Amino acid sequence: MTLNIDRPTQSSNYWMIALKLFMLVLGLYLSALVLGKVFTWVFAIAFFLVRFIVFVAVSFIVLHFFLKLLFKIDLIESVFGKRYFRR
């Protein structure tokens, strides 16, 4: 019978598992710090864009409604044309 010299002892195996878990937790913590800053900016820009698009769309719809009601001017038809809605 030959002895396997490369096989680690049982006590050093626990230290390696503890070291790997510590490195995993440290890596997750650092990535959370970095990605927290990145996603803060991404979500702020996305929220601003969505808010701006909704504001423009609602303004357009309200203006269309009042022009149609008061002056019988179809704003959607004048902006997009008659052939746009026939498709």
In the predicted structure, residue 34 carries a pLDDT above the cut 90: yes
pLDDT tens for each residue of 39-86: 999 999 999 999 999 999 999 999 999 999 998 888 888 888 777 666
Q: What's the pLDDT band for 37 if we cut at 50, 70, 90?
A: very high
Q: Please report whether residue 75 resides in a domain.
A: yes
**Separation CA 49–CA 54 (nearest Å):** 9
pTM beyond cutoff 0.75: no
Q: Please report whether residue 85 resides in a domain.
A: no
Q: Please report whether residue 4 resides in a domain.
A: no
Contacts of 60 (CB under 8 A, 6+ apart): 75
Q: Please report whether residue 3 resides in a domain.
A: no
pLDDT tens for each residue of 3-30: 556 665 666 788 889 999 999 999 999 9
Domain encompassing residue 58 = 11-80
Q: Please report whether residue 87 resides in a domain.
A: no
**How many separate domains does the chain show?**
1
Q: Please report whether residue 74 resides in a domain.
A: yes
Q: Please report whether residue 1 resides in a domain.
A: no
Q: Please report whether residue 64 resides in a domain.
A: yes
- DSSP string over 15-58: HHHHHHHHHHHHHHHHHHHHHHHHHHHHHHHHHHHHHHHHHHHH
